[in-house]
Structure 1
Amino acid sequence: MKLKIVLLLLAQIALSQAIFAQMVIKSLKKGEQVPSELSLGKIVNYKSKNVKFSELKGKLVILDFWSTGCGPCIANLPDMENLQREFGDKIAIIPVTHEDSTLIANYFKRKKLGLPSIVNDSLLYGLFPHVGNPYEVWIDETGVVIATTDFGEVNSANISRYLLSKEHNLKNRSNGMFDPNIPLFVNGNGGEENQFVARSIFTNEIENLHWFADSHSVFDEKTKRNNINSYITLNSQLSYLFRECFWNAIKEPRLLCNLTRFFIEQNDKVIVPMADFSYYHSTTDSIDKLLGKEKHCYNLTLPGNGVSDSIFYNKYMLEDLNRYSSFNVRIEKKKLPSWVIINKNRQFNYLSTNLNNSNSKIIFDDNIEHSFVEEIVDIPFNQVIDFFKMYTLSPPMFNETGYNNEKIHLKNLHLKHGKSSVDDAIFQKMNLEEWRAAFQRNGLDIKVEDREVEVMVFKKKETPAK
């Protein structure tokens, strides 16, 4: 019987040690709970030789990691003792060191320090791993880690603020731990990720994330400048990324679906319009066929000062996309057949007399399939040109009428736009004669000239010979 009891006790001890070991292995982070049953280990200057964390519940606990070889730690101990005296039972400031109990007891006696200190510690260093002392861990009255800071944050003002409001604005300190096998800032490796100045991230498709794209700048009120520029897209094909890059680089982001500025440089140095490879009735099949339909996530963040939108896209983003794809892509200038919009008949007055924005609209032949654009009412001339340039195979267009922001009213256009009998006209090559006739009915005309415009040229990277 006695043997059974002994065996049961040994089993319980082994189980407790296993549970204890599991607790030690798992480090604690901000927002996580310190186990109430946790034994903090050996302690000097205390009512007992050991202390459990449950004895500290109901108090603001500040663990002060220190050592006798740390000058700032030693200089800070009297201040810690004064703070403990000032706030009494409301707080518990407990220095923590891995050094020997006899050494620390003698040191405290010599320096006339009355603070308790955890000694011979490995447990708390395991729970709160860090590099460099002093290192302060703040734990609230319920046992939740609320901050890790430098010793300068442990002062009367910060403690009072927390005790009165249960809120704080403590400046958190990184634990200084770094694993060279893990990228910087991933899962807190080396510190919080908000410390980066610039970064570029490229991943494969992430399941359960919907497509998303956004670009923004953050304005700094102090410097009156944008201090960060960021572009991000989730689960997008490379074709989308290159089109975003190009149209933003030349400051025409609305023309995302236009393919007439994209070219392929073949092995014989001949540059072929990508539009020649278009599938029937599709906006992007040609470029998707070239670049593949795999989806990716991409985020580029750069300091805003001195980084214009053009440089952001045509340098940094383009360099990234060239790095991550199997193409070398460049933006250059090339002469292309272009439509130049001019005045034809001054007897026609296409300028609008209505200055009320509420009446601006495009009138289609019906409200469902929008097969034809029939009328454009009270829209600025340049916006009208931009609207037509959004056609997938629209040639470059130039407005040389002398009117830019003036509103115009064009009638009797009857231009193919949406679904006709078999296809979507906005995806097809635009018929010059039809468009000229529509413009001439309104006192305008279209002439075709070679004009220099910016284009994007794709060249397949050479595969190294085996």
Structure 2
Amino acid sequence: MLFGVGIARPQSREVGTANNQNITALNIGDQIPDALWNTPLQVVNHPQDKKNITLADYKGKLIILDFWSTWCGTCVAALPRLHELEKEFKDDVIILPMTDQKANEIKAFLKKNRVLSRLNLFSVTDDNTYKFHFPYTMLPHEVWISKSGEVQAITHSSDVTKENITSALKGNANSIAQKKDNLTYDDTRPLLLNNNGADGDFFVSRSIITLAIEGIPRSNALPKVNEKDSTFRVLSTNADIRRMYELAFRELLTMPPNRTKLELKEPFSVSEKRFLQDKYCYEWIAPLSVLKHFPQKVQADLNYHFGINGRMEKRNTKCYTIKIIGKTTIIPNKPEDGLQYLSAWVNKTNKDIQHIPVVNDFTDQKIAIPKIAPAIEDVEAVNRQLKPFGIAIVEDERVLDFFVISEL
């Protein structure tokens, strides 16, 4: 047997529909209308073998309507306890099980259930009226009606206790905790979207990924703390996926593009578009208590959303390195016409993701070289141009940091 809370379909608190009539929902403090007192209710397993009853049959008692269903484990588990309470207060209280399920279904269930079959419980069935007068989204749902016919309380079944019944009989139902169903909640729509379930800012932690949003700037912001509510926010907008990973791996900020490895089953051109060109937005808002974990969280979110394993790795790889072979030309200011900085040429060359990495161990020096194309297709030809400037390109092998995107 399951013991979870039953979730019912949302119904409007203001009005429901039954038998093609508008029905106004009743709230605490409302009097039960005369028509409702006399509405015939179909029952099964009645001790006097009745097929129909009315609420008026119990006027003068504290009436507790116990809305339940066979698929609601909490409802079923509560029935024996509520039955015992009713017996204890039999002169003053009636606890009336009520469901919108069909009579044959309920009768079979009460007979088959090992615990309930021994209790000779009866229940209202086929309810298509009371559930609109007392709308709910969660079962069990308990409606307390005083001896004078006033709605005293609306509670969970766990609040139907000896102490609370005693208080209600004394006219002191205000002390009983009230059940508050959100009748506008739609379980087919995302939580908090358009205040679905609660206000949009009700979340404790939230991460979302969207497609690019037209009209907002591109950004990649490290955690920004909000002292007012002790939260922080990580944000990346209109950024490619590799750039988003910079939030998790700060070394990517200065890592050349050709230190990115796309190792996926799809064609390289497809991966290049997906991870280096297509744009998305990412946001994570969470309590400050988890701030130190934000890189791992961002990595996990991106990995699982895009179905990949994005990570940093050290790899032994073939590369080109810069070698000083003679007197270099140092230009402290802007290079003259026909010249460029060595570091600028290396950076441009490393922008080609498929180019072998070029490692420059002399980034602190403003070494000038001629304006040659940012590529190394013929090492000898490049070196002939660099030789007058005391520079050579050498094939090498080093352990370098790479950002790797592979299958999850």
Larger RCO of the pair (alpha carbons < 8 Å, separation 6+): 2
User: Does TM, scored on the shorter chain, surpass 0.5?
Assistant: no
TM range (shorter): 0.3 to 0.5
- Provide TM-score, normalisation by structure 1: 0.39
